[in-house]
Amino acid sequence: MTPETKARIDNLIQQNKIMVFMKGNKLMPQCGFSNNVVQILNTLGVPFETLDVLADSEIRQGIKEYSNWPTIPQVYVDGKFLGGSDILIEMYHNEELQQLVEVALAS
């Protein structure tokens, strides 16, 4: 990953309380896993930003190196990497995600 790509990822994560690197965008997810993440965040009614990795090959590869996580989507809350679709679903069901998001948005 280039220093420029790392800086772009750093900026996106720092500037957005909830940042999702996904296939497609929040209005039109391009895979089922990305859609799961969007649906969960929409259900929580929280503001979040997305970046379409299909439109940016440098970020698509760079985010995997950045997080040391091989799959997309990737969700960051308050600068911390949470994981992908399966982890978000689990956190949503045990209500851990709601609490984490509330704290992040309040800070």
Domains of the chain, by residue range, sit at 3-106
Model confidence at 107, in pLDDT bands (50, 70, 90)? confident
- Overall average pLDDT of the 6-22 stretch: 96
Quick one: pLDDT band at residue 37, thresholds 50, 70, 90?
A: very high
Confidence of residue 60 (pLDDT cuts 50, 70, 90): very high
Pairwise CA distance, residues 104 & 1, whole Å: 28
pTM reported for the whole predicted model: 0.94
What is the model's pLDDT at position 15?
96
- % pLDDT > 70, the chain: 100
How far, CA to CA in Å, does 104 sit from each of 24, 35, 65, 100?
25, 22, 24, 6
Span 51-71, average pLDDT: 95
Instruction: Report the pLDDT averaged over residues 6-14.
Output: 97
| Residue 66 three-state SS | helix
Provide CATH code, domain 3-106. 3.40.30.10
